[in-house]
Amino acid sequence: MTIIIYGKTVCSICGKVIRPDQKAIGLPHLISNELDNLFIYNDGAYHHLCFEKVPENEILFSYLRDYEELTERLNAAISTGLINNPEEILSTGVLSSDPKNPLWAYNLKFYSKNTVQEKELLTLKKLLSEEKLKGTIRGRAIDWITERIDRFISV
């Protein structure tokens, strides 16, 4: 999550300091795909008013809500002992904001090793490698997801 230090952190849109009396928003590392149009908003800090003027703000807000819901579910799974090792979690983030991309269906999902759905993960892995070849996805997060799928399935 982006840390906002009021009076110090600069808004990524207007370039001005976010003052303590201003409403602000910080985006986490939501977008996994470096080639997605929304990747530039990852880890950004913004004045609320500036962010509302961004054309993609509605979709970003909805991703943020889904992300927060997911984080809550994840924390619940950890606190109830359902998951006790961060290595057992696979979180996809936003793979594509284009509804026509087959990876769109896998946005903001999380899988745990205990309840692994092998078939679904194999499909995801296939799509990731296909889209990579097509040049629509790229990035460390994408590689991380692929590696984790391999690890979940091979054991």
Q: What residue ranges bind Zn ion (CB under 5 A)?
A: 11, 13-14, 47, 50
CA quadruple 57, 62, 68, 74: dihedral sign: negative
CB 117 within 8 A of CB 8: no
Closest to Zn ion by CB, 50 vs 127, is: 50
Q: Which spans in the chain are helix H?
A: 48-52, 57-79, 118-134, 140-154
Minimum CB distance to Zn ion, residue 134 (Å): 36
Using CB positions, name the residue nearest to Zn ion: 11
Closest to Zn ion by CB, 47 vs 148, is: 47
Q: Which two structure tokens, joined as six digits, stand for 21? A: 């009396």
Closest to Zn ion by CB, 23 vs 151, is: 23
Minimum CB distance to Zn ion, residue 25 (Å): 10
Strand partners, 27: none
